[in-house]
Structure 1
């Protein structure tokens, strides 16, 4: 059996991981710090001097975090006593054990996906430690802006679904398959709007997403759409009144990407390709990127 390759990390210069840790994550942290600074007056109006003090302390922690990242400092345990703190620290200890005494996990030497998630968790920690602004979503502005700038694409997609559902019971198997594959790809490519990938810059979906599927298909790295279709249609054909076909969708962000997932879920239930759809959201506000394949 071939050895498992090393996890992609920022130490691989020229890789997406290297670009992420060197450029994207510091840019995101800088925007977060700027957002907090711009809302200083709002914090004062709502919370008085306590709000200002909390804003200053949070910015101080985030500036320290940015410096740790840019200088490849060791990753440190979380210290906020939230429900998931122990799990995060256990995983960090696991990463330390992998090094077997040869140093400590650092920003550029650790698995990229872990590092990116860890950064968002540290942002949450900085806020959690500074009430009364501990529940402030530093990403809300950019998420709302991206959502509304995607409204034409949302209208086009929802209009397509509405027309499709009018005759959903009359679709033959071939047509049902064609529509399923379309909406599955739309759900995948909704991730192109991810604000983490664009480091918080405008990345909204402005065109009709259904019209770009043929051009985007060559960029799907792993394509198991036909297998997914076969599984679902066979389950539907064999299903009894007591059987359940459950689909689980791991959500990305709460903008255009969420609309594409909701449209896919509506189609799955309306076409009876699934009897249940379960959504799994994030426990904290973030702009975490997702790399998808079908």
Structure 2
């Protein structure tokens, strides 16, 4: 824990919007208000839906939620101090304690504001406040304001999803006959596809369409020079030695995947996880998602289940077959999904 303008043990100061022209500044000045405005518009556009489902109560909840979000947007744009959460959710105290620590470090409340505080903290805080605004207004408390964008992103990447599912089906059908080198080649390819799935992040594009339009396999060679750090050889040798150890000790190899974005990126994670269990490199895969809607396109439990359902229901032989395979991985406990407040903490 450190103040934004001091350096401790060689750790550089946190990035904040104090530096005009920096990524942090452009994020707080432009990107966050754009995301908030889209959230307000989405809630307003769904006014009729809320009325159909909940009657007058739904309309009231919509108005009050928009009121709270508009107030936050104003606080953000005028660099007001960050304020405590007022809901009774289990993580509220943790968020408020974190804010108090920051205030103590700076000696006053005014300096913990939208532009002066660490950018990553205020961006996380914005998503938590969006959740608070909805939570305080039943019956629309469970409404995911980012669901439309995530759904659209999945459907707009259909061609790429079909390509990757067809590729996986081809690999799986011949997996028994692959040499160790061939297995490594496929592992490397699918690991890179999973890496580049991150290009479909909707928070970076402030919700603009960012779906995967081209073949994820064909673009790997041209993207290779853009990988900054590559530890895939280490991962491979770790998996191989874990596999050897598991055979002799009769234990299982478990791989954990911390999920990021829904849509195409989630499909690439599922494809990689499928390959890991089909090839015997892992016996079980644990996925970790977010417990609340987060950073526009992050995976929630609903997104995870929905994506598998959509893959099963696809009008495409390989895609549908792979979807059913994923469903049975979950049913058999080979795959499991978890969320924990840790991933959405301050």
TM-score range, shorter chain: over 0.9
**1:286 maps to what in 2?**
294
The answer to whether the 8 Å contact 1:150/1:204 transfers is: yes
Decide which of 265, 268, 279 is 2:273's aligned counterpart: 265
Counterpart Cα distance in 2 of 1:245 and 1:146:
33
167-176 or 118-127, which deviates more = 167-176
Deviation, structure 1 residue 2: 5.1
Residue aligned with 1:209, SS: coil
Q: TM-score, normalised by structure 2?
A: 0.79
Structure 2 unpaired stretches of 5+: 1-7, 299-346
Structure 1 unpaired stretches of 5+: none
Residue aligned with 2:219, SS: helix
Residue aligned with 1:210, SS: coil
Residue aligned with 2:194, SS: helix
Decide which of 106, 130, 154 is 2:137's aligned counterpart: 130
**1:21 maps to what in 2?**
28
Give per-residue Cα distances to partners, 1:228-259, cap 9 Å, x unaligned.
11211222233225222221111123211111
**1:87 maps to what in 2?**
94
Correspondence 1:209-228 to 2 at 5 A: 209-228=216-235
Runs of 4+ in structure 1 off by over 6 angstroms are none
Greater relative contact order (Cα 8 A, min sep 6): structure 1 or 2?
Answer: 1
- The alignment's C-alpha RMSD in Å is 1.8
Q: TM-score, normalised by structure 1?
A: 0.93
Does residue 77 of structure 1 match 2:84?
yes
Counterpart Cα distance in 2 of 1:212 and 1:12:
36
71-80 or 217-226, which deviates more = 217-226
Counterpart Cα distance in 2 of 1:68 and 1:100:
21
The answer to whether the 8 Å contact 1:117/1:288 transfers is: no
The answer to whether the 8 Å contact 1:197/1:289 transfers is: no
Aligned in 2, Cα 1:252/1:128: closer, same or farther, shift over 3 Å? Answer: same
